[in-house]
Amino acid sequence: MKIIISCIVLSLFVSSAIADDKLEGKLVSIDKGKLTMTDKDGMIETTYKIADDVKITCDGKECKLNDLGKGCLVTVTTQTRGDSIYLVKIVAKSSP
């Protein structure tokens, strides 16, 4: 019985550790495979590595990194791969 409970607890821990996270903010810059953005309040600036297989949309249409402009609103999805956190999805909206 202890083994079964241990397996359940371990599986819950592992599944939450590899879960994707979504973050919202404003784009600051893109440079050399990294994206820098602020939080949605514009206070905290963070830089993330961009995954090679990243999916990007701009105003609901598929686009490329160079289509993203400074200050646009972004919702990014991060994923832990090995010891690093990568952006695997970027959803951009033009600034109002």
Domains present along the chain, CATH in parentheses: 20-93 (2.40.50.320)
Residue 78: φ, ψ to 5°: -105, 155
Q: How far apart, in whole angstroms, are the C-alpha atoms of residue 8 and residue 1?
A: 11
Strands 84-93, 61-62: pairing is unpaired
What does pTM read for this prediction?
0.77
pLDDT at position 20, please? 84
**pLDDT by residue, tens only, the chain of 96 residues:** 555 444 343 343 343 345 689 999 999 999 999 999 999 899 999 999 999 999 999 999 999 999 999 999 999 999 999 999 999 999 999 866
